[in-house]
Chains A and B, each alone.
Chain A
Amino acid sequence: MDALSSRRNRLRLYKIAWLPVCALLIYLVVSTGGMGWLETAVLMVPLAGLGEFISLSAWYSCKFRPIQRSTILNLIGTHLGAALLLSLLWVGMGKLLAHFLSILPWFQGLDARFTPKVGLVYGAGCILYLLSVAFHYVALAQDASREAEAHALKSSLLARDAELKALKAQVNPHFLFNSLNSISALTSIDPAKAREMCILLAEFLRMTLGLGEKSNILLAEEMALLDRFLAIEKVRFGARLKLEEDIQEQSKPMLVLPLLLQPLVENAVIHGIANLPAGGSIRLVAHCHDGRLSIIVENTFDPESRPARRDGLGLANVRRRLEGRYGEEATMQVSAEGDCFRVHLSLPAESGASLN
């Protein structure tokens, strides 16, 4: 059910609730004596309608005083004040109506008969208004929870969407074709190396397919995949690609999202090394400290070439996956200083050693 139609239904419910209220009012006035059924009904039915309308204004005072963020004193002050004031207005209108009805031949003296009931109606008005306040608080709480629900649903959908996109984008066709071209060149120059590269490529593809299906993997597993990837790129770029790794032993059994780092390393190659005629270096760092796992992917890049949009998309995807999995618990910092481009991830260190 969407929000609008649920609001419409709620308004209908509110209006229906006023029917018994109206009947109750009539009964109260008649049972205390001095007034007939008919004249009471003629007076109270329009008055109840008016009351229903006036009480709707409780919505504004409820909005103005959110129940979680107001003191009891503030709440009582606001709503009681409004109840006393609005009920006065209401009874005043009732008195006015009684006065005009008295002019008609059938209701002569109604005004005078109604006067002793003013106190009773006033009290009822105050109570009805406060009930309306309660009704509106319930309605607002319902709205808020529905909104939160929709928001949660939306962000989980976004996270899954990002996940799927990330997995689909894993094997870059450019990477695949270039690797095959390298292999094709190696077959005549160095057949043993060609075979080695075929195996590296096969392992990389197999890992990509296998790891992508899991929800968590060990950092060591992700590193194994990255090693294959970088070994292949190393064949392609030769001396242009230099590698540095600083993977702390105790960070290896930590859990990470599968293929989280792969797009970062791929970016480092595509937007870093591949744009530099003389090449550059890629540095991978992983450390565990104080319950946090800190991962850095760093690469040389050409500060004159603007980062392409694909780059931004890849980073945004990583960010979204982190958010979907860890919420506020994970951070991602992207910085470019001089010719060094760096992505720093910090996530809760969750050991997956017991899983294996």
Chain B
Amino acid sequence: MSAFTKKIRALIVDDEELARHVIRELLQCHPEIEILAECANGFEAAKAFAEHQPSLIFLDVQMPKLTGFDVLELIGTDVSVIFITAYDQYAMRAFEVHAVDYLLKPIGRERFEAALERAKRRMGEKMPPAHELAAAARPPQQFLERLVVKDGTRVTLIPVGKLDYAEAQDDYVALASQGKKHLKQQTIAGLEAGLNPDSFVRIHRSYIVNLERVVRIEPYGKDSRLAILTDGARLPVSRAGYARLKALLDERK
């Protein structure tokens, strides 16, 4: 290795001190890798990422509040991630499907070296979108419990029960919750796939509504309608959207 080769800047993210220690120890014989920071949770990870702009992250999947997938969603895909999990058959399958590097606890030297080699080779490639990975890692019949949004440097968690509606805006969705709107980089179809279809309905090409919030439906124009929400918001309802809404409401009766 020449002196001009830039060091690989890395982050270690795991909520368990001992687990972080194992990674640090395994990296001891890799002088080309510089550990910039160790993070004990997702919030610290997002902050450290913004601060250091690392190119490699060792990322635990199961962490409090923010999971590894949430972290990936916050930091974007321009980074190599090696996921770490103790036992999660769905996450493991998702990693296989998306050809993402991952390590199983307890972490063995051989596996670690192989993953590191592969990560080095693929450095500079983009990671698959976080929400796709997360969706693939969710057990069947389970839906999102909360949404993670980054407003500037602030991370906001919105429990899905508090989501009033979502509106498509180009490459983003605007999430309306408790009188505020949060922008999140995701397609509305991607969001729809993660929400429980018993509670959320796609009422329009650009709108998903929380069924609990709908007060009434009013006719509007020739072929369309308006959904009036508890907070007074008025959302357009397409003909197909009305059919879906009605089917769901009838089911609930």
Contacts and interface: CB of A to CB of B under 8 A. Distances in A.
A235 interface: yes
A274 B62 contact: yes
A178 B86 contact: yes
Given A177-B87, A274-B62, A277-B64, A235 B18 contact: yes
A277 B16 contact: no
Interface residues of B, number: 27
B64 A237 contact: no
A143 B88 CA distance: 50
B18 A181 contact: yes
A73 interface: no
Contact of A184 (B15, B22, B43): B22
Contacts, number: 73
Nearest to A304: B159
A57 interface: no
A151 B178 CA distance: 49
Interface SS majority for chain B: loop
Contacts of B239: none
A1 B22 CA distance: 64
B64 A275 contact: yes
A183 interface: yes
A237 B16 contact: yes
A36 B65 CA distance: 97
Contacts of A182: 16, 18-19
Interface stretch (A102-110, A131-139, A185-193, A344-352): A185-193
Interface in B107-129: 107
Contact of B64 (A177, A183, A276): A276
A185 B25 CA distance: 9
A177 to B, nearest CB: 4
Contacts of B16: 178, 181-182, 236-238
A235 B107 CA distance: 18
A142 to B, nearest CB: 40
B106 A184 contact: yes
Interface string B121-163: 0000000000000000000001001100000000001010100
B142 A309 contact: yes
B105 A238 contact: no
B41 interface: yes
Interface of B: 15-19, 21-22, 25, 40-41, 43, 62, 64-65, 86-88, 104-107, 142, 145-146, 157, 159, 161
Given A185-B18, A188-B25, 18 more contacts: A173-B87, A174-B62, A174-B86, A177-B104, A177-B105, A178-B86, A181-B22, A181-B86, A184-B106, A185-B21, A236-B18, A238-B16, A274-B62, A274-B64, A277-B43, A302-B64, A306-B145, A306-B159
